[in-house]
């Protein structure tokens, strides 16, 4: 079975996606206590509840796939956009340290779509160059949640899939095609209902 290690797991959204597709999650990492409470109610595998800067990578089991939905505030248009100049922006380099130690066959990264244009594209260029230096084939795409799922949310994120060249030469990766599943709100409104249940001020 293909094993997965998850950094910046939050409440486990990325973990759940991989788990539903048959992957085995070996361990996950999250530092936010409230997120960890929710995570533990939904998953049974090992959760490392600490700041990634405090993790000893030598104590992590090797995995086939490493995922990371790393902090996005410093790249988001809703934030100050300081990028690599502040600590939250340096988390990517901590991910690289984990990659160098574990040497996963696949790396899956997720962030806000503005990551691609931050600092006139130089931030994204640095990220891609760092990953290519580690002999990965890189695939990246901005995908809107509403175009592939039934979740009624207009949420665009950038996904970066890195695959070792030794694997990709046998099977080429491609992102799924657009497949709109999101229901319109009028399809959720009951046509027949008991008027006594309607609340009036």
* Helix 122-132 with 91-102: angle, nearest 10 deg: 10
8-state DSSP, 75: T
Name, of 34-38, 68-72, 172-176, 178-182, the range with top average pLDDT: 34-38
Q: In what order do the strands lie in the sheet with 106-112?
A: 46-48, 24-29, 3-7, 65-68, 106-112, 156-164, 136-144
Q: What is the mean pLDDT of the chain?
A: 86
Asked if CATH classification 3.40.50.150 holds for the domain at 3-197, the reply, yes or no, is yes
What pLDDT was estimated at residue 165? 86
Mean pLDDT of 127-150: 92
pLDDT of 80 higher than 90: no
Helices and strands per DSSP (H, E), number in the chain: 5, 7
Mean pLDDT of 24-28: 98
**Is 72 marked active-site?**
yes
What pLDDT was estimated at residue 138? 95
pLDDT of 150 higher than 80: no
Contacts by 43-49 with C-beta closer than 8 Å and gap 24+?
A: 43/12, 43/15, 43/19, 47/9
Distances (CA, A) of 83 to 8, 68, 115: 18, 17, 9
Distance of CA 116 to the CA centre of its chain: 15
What pLDDT was estimated at residue 54? 96
pLDDT of 2 higher than 80: yes
Q: How confident is the model at residue 21 (pLDDT cuts 50, 70, 90)?
A: very high
Instruction: Tell me the C-alpha distance between 195 and 107, whole Å.
Output: 53
150 is written with which tokens?
Answer: 């039934």
Helices (H), 12-68: 13-20, 33-42
Instruction: Tell me the C-alpha distance between 159 and 17, whole Å.
Output: 14
Q: Which member of 36, 72, 98, 162 is catalytic?
A: 72
What pLDDT was estimated at residue 189? 73
What pLDDT was estimated at residue 79? 47
Residues contacting 172, CB < 8 A, separation 6+? none
pLDDT tens for residues 87-135? 556 889 999 999 999 999 999 999 999 889 888 888 899 999 999 999 9
pLDDT of 24 higher than 70: yes
112 phi and psi angles, rounded to 5 deg: -70, 150
Domain residue limits, the chain? 3-197
196 is written with which tokens?
Answer: 């006594």
What pLDDT was estimated at residue 157? 93
Mean pLDDT of 59-80: 76
């Amino acid at each position: 079975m293909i094993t997965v290690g998850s950094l910046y797991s939050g409440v486990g959204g990325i973990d759940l996606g991989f788990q539903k597709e048959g992957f085995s999650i070996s361990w996950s990492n999250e530092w936010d206590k409230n997120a960890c409470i929710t995570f533990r109610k939904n998953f049974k595998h090992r959760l490392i509840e600490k700041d990634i800067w405090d993790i000893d990578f030598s104590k992590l089991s090797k995995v086939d796939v490493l995922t990371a939905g790393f902090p996005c505030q410093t790249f988001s248009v809703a934030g100050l956009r300081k990028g690599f100049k502040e600590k939250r922006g340096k988390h990517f380099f901590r991910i690289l340290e984990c990659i160098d130690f574990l040497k996963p066959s696949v790396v899956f990264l997720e962030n806000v779509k503005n990551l691609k244009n931050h600092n006139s594209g130089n931030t994204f260029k640095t990220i891609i160059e760092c990953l290519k230096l580690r002999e990965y084939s890189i695939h990246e795409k901005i995908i809107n949640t509403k175009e592939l799922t039934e979740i009624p949310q207009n949420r665009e994120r950038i996904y970066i899939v890195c695959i070792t060249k030794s694997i990709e030469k046998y099977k080429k990766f491609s992102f799924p095609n657009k497949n709109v599943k999101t229901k319109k709100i009028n399809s959720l409104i009951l046509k027949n209902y008991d008027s006594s249940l309607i609340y009036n001020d």
